Amino acid sequence: MDPTTEDPIALFGTWMSEATASEPNDPNAMCLATSTATGAPSARMVLLKDVDARGFVFYTNLESRKGGELAANPQAALCFHWKTLARSVRVEGQVEAVTAAEADAYYASRARGSRIGAWASRQSRPLESRFALEKRVAEITMTYPIGEIPRPDFWSGFRVVPSRIEFWRDMPFRLHERRVFHRASEGWSIEALYP
């Protein structure tokens, strides 16, 4: 870890590049933790689709369990773990919606089957049978046989605006290196933690 690095987003970019070169698949996979208004947590994997100084973006069904929890309590935590590098990054912060233009642009970039799948999946709700899902896919495919497919209004993205970013690196004898960036009034403050 470069001890002079003071921009956690730049450092994250470096680690993500290294993970992209070494991970067999989905280096952008991250565990997303949300919680209910009363503080009961839940966690699942999602894919990081954008990151810059504003935060970490993922896309999902707004009517899913996570979507409901984020509507009730717009705070989240993310955890990346790259086994090939023996490194992890943790992110915590408030969550905001991406703009409609951002969501439209990302949705338009997805494979046609994935755009149809976004319409077909009533994510997180009970599924009576696999056939019911396939029937919905067939119906959406007939609705949009060719040309543009509009983005469903229940499908969009969230940005986790980081207030804390931790970089963890494996070291011998479990004396791991932990470097934490806290959002300060200007820029970031940095501290090391015992492993």
Helix (H, G, I), strand (E, B) or coil at 143: helix
Residues 108-137 contacting ligand FMN, CB under 6 A: 123-124
Q: Of 141, 17, 30, nearest to 77 (Cα)?
A: 30
Phi, psi dihedrals of residue 147, rounded to the nearest 5°: 80, -165
Beta strand 50-52 pairing with 87-97:
unpaired
Q: Is 164 annotated as a binding residue?
A: no
Q: Least separation, in Å, of the C-beta of 13 and ligand FMN?
A: 19
For ligand FMN, the closer of residues 111 and 142 by Cβ is 111
Q: Residue type for 42, please?
A: S
By CB under 6 A, residue 60 contacts ligand FMN? yes
Q: Which residue has the tokens 């791991």?
A: 176
Residues 150-189 contacting ligand FMN, CB under 6 A: none
Which listed residue (12, 64, 115, 116) binds ligand FMN by CB under 6 A? 64
Containing 103, the helix (H) or strand (E) segment is helix 100-109
Q: Is 11 annotated as a binding residue?
A: no
Q: Is 36 annotated as a binding residue?
A: no
Question: Contact at 8 Å (CB) between 87 and 117?
Answer: no
Question: Contact at 8 Å (CB) between 98 and 120?
Answer: no
Q: Is 30 annotated as a binding residue?
A: no
Near ligand FMN by CB under 6 A, which window of 54-62, 76-84, 89-97, 158-166?
A: 54-62
Structure tokens given for 8: 């956690």
Q: Is 174 an annotated catalytic residue? A: yes
Near ligand FMN by CB under 6 A, which window of 45-53, 78-86, 97-105, 160-168?
A: 45-53
As a whole number of angstroms, the distance between CA 57 and CA 54 comes to: 9
Q: Binding site for FMN: which residues? A: 44-49, 59-60, 65-66, 123-124, 168, 178
The site for ligand FMN (CB under 6 A) is made up of 26, 29, 42, 44-47, 58-61, 64-66, 123-124
Q: Which residues are catalytic?
A: 174
